[in-house]
Amino acid sequence: MTANIEIYTKFGCPYCVRAKHLLDSKGVTYTEYDVTMGGAKRAEMVARAPGACTVPQIFINDVAVGGSDDLRALDTQGKLDSLLGASGAQ
């Protein structure tokens, strides 16, 4: 079973591009929320990850994992594939 992955991004954000590239390289699908203009999705992001005001903010199975550097660290530590689900990690 693959994980439910959500990522909050902004237009032109290089960290967002990096995070999405890593997820794409794992062959997983994710739901992207563009919070460039603020609004309800940005408020939702802040509510889900209190204190987080930067993007991307990444959630795997409703657990906040942080941003691009945090996602890369999980991959480097060998923990990302198991979080993403064995069938989603390629």
Residue 30: inside a domain: yes
Q: What is the CATH number of the domain that holds 35?
A: 3.40.30.10
Q: DSSP for the chain?
A: ----EEEEE-TT-HHHHHHHHHHHHTT---EEEE-TT-SHHHHHHHHHSTT--SS-EEEETTEEEESHHHHHHHHHTT-HHHHH-TTT--
* Confidence at residue 90, expressed as pLDDT on a 0 to 100 scale: 40
Q: What is the mean pLDDT of the chain?
A: 92
Distance CA 75, CA 73 (A): 5
Residue 73: inside a domain: yes
Q: pLDDT tens digits, residue range 66-82?
A: 999 999 999 999 999 99
Residue 29: inside a domain: yes
Distance CA 7, CA 66 (A): 10
Q: pLDDT tens digits, residue range 6-29?
A: 999 999 999 999 999 999 999 999
Domain containing residue 28: 5-84
* Domain count of the fold of the chain: 1
Residue 90: inside a domain: no
Residue 66: inside a domain: yes
Residue 47: inside a domain: yes
